[in-house]
Amino acid sequence: MKVGFIGVGNMGGPMCRNIIRNTNHQVAVFDLNPDALATCTALGAAAGASTAAVAAASDVVFTSLPMPKHVEEVALGAEGIAANARPGMVYIDLSTNSAAIARRVQAGMAAKGIAMLEAPVSGGVPRATDGTIVIMVGGDAAVFEAQLPLLKSFSKEVIHVGEVGMGSVAKLCNNMLAFCNIAAASEALLLGAAAGIDVHKLYDVICNASGNSDAFRGLGPKAFSRDFKPGFALDLAHKDLRLALEMADEVGMPGMIAPQVMTLMRTARAHGMGGDDSSSLLRVYEQALGRAVR
């Protein structure tokens, strides 16, 4: 089978490399960033000349792109996938998006005879790299079953959650919770530091106690090493929380905690941290309190 992969950055790169390593499929990649492209061609993928060229030559095309506007352009633009792929191809979007945009892209694909799965992922760069990333898939059940072996070639946990749109719903609920957890984890570390405990010891305790979370476990090493280069950029986290809050408005669900975390994110971006890791929410607390987690 011929597999195309467009967008091989922090997340798409490791997922694509696992497809190359774990299957015998011919893989062609395209990315605007030549350095990102090289991480996949070094393992044997062909470098596509453009999205259109990759789409035209593939049986299945993945995308992993930053913002909804990038997905819509690459999927439905004049030089994009729908305009250039052959009918019968399958399109799988691994990006985080809104349900409304996913459904709009699905309709554009369907008009060209292309089936679509929306398949946002969770677990960050480490789990994209070691193949334990979770994929939540929205789309037709028969299309899902047909693509399951390919999805399992780079994911430990693939869950079909309903029609196109439900993958985005699952992903946005998950990320809203994860960002609230980062904020709460930041407060706990700062509170401990202010109260005088050795924060490394506090970290060890909480990692083994009831306050533990993925967010807390991930935040400690970032805080202690002061390494905030992005695995998951704050700008992308802000996009996800914005989409989650829009979804909350659409369904009439008043949030209590998430809107406050949005204010934290806006503050972090206003301080120029948008390109840094999303764990930089901690630094907003640190700047406000004039105290660092050490």
Instruction: Please list the active-site residues.
Output: 171
Instruction: Give me the least distance between CB of 196 and ligand NAD, in Å please.
Output: 34
Q: 30 vs 144, which CB is nearer to ligand NAD?
A: 30
Name the percent of the chain in helix, strand, coil, to the closest 5: 55, 15, 30
Residues 6+ apart with CB under 8 A from 67: 236, 239
Which residues inside 103-162 make contact with ligand NAD, applying CB under 6 A?
121-122, 124-125
Q: Does 172 bind ligand NAD (CB under 6 A)?
A: no
CB of 121 to ligand NAD, least distance (A): 5
CA distance 29 to 115: 20
Min CB(31)–ligand NAD separation in Å: 4
Does 15 help bind ligand NAD (rule: CB under 6 A)? Answer: no
Dihedral of alpha carbons 178, 182, 187, 191, sign: positive
Q: Is 236 in the site for ligand NAD (CB under 6 A)?
A: yes
Pick from 11, 150, 185, 234: which binds ligand NAD (CB under 6 A)?
Answer: 11
Q: Which of residues 55-114 bind ligand NAD (CB under 6 A)?
A: 64-66, 70, 73-74, 95-96
Minimal distance, residue 288 CB to ligand NAD, in Å? 26
What string of H, E and C letters represents the secondary structure of 178-198? HHHHHHHHHHHHHHHHHCCCC
CB nearer to ligand NAD: pick between 20 and 74: 74
Residue keyed to tokens 């060209």: 112
Distance CA 224, CA 204 (A): 13
Min dist CB 280 to ligand NAD, Å, is 14
Largest Cα–Cα distance of the chain, in whole Å? 64
Degrees, nearest 5: CA angle 19-25-30: 65
The one-letter amino acid code at 199 reads V
Report the distance separating Cα 162 and Cα 166, nearest Å: 6
- Our CB check for ligand NAD shows the closer of 50 and 260 to be 50
Residues lying near ligand NAD in the complex (CB under 6 A) are found at 6-7, 9-12, 30-33, 36, 51, 64-66, 70, 73-74, 95-96, 121-122, 124-125, 231-232, 236, 240
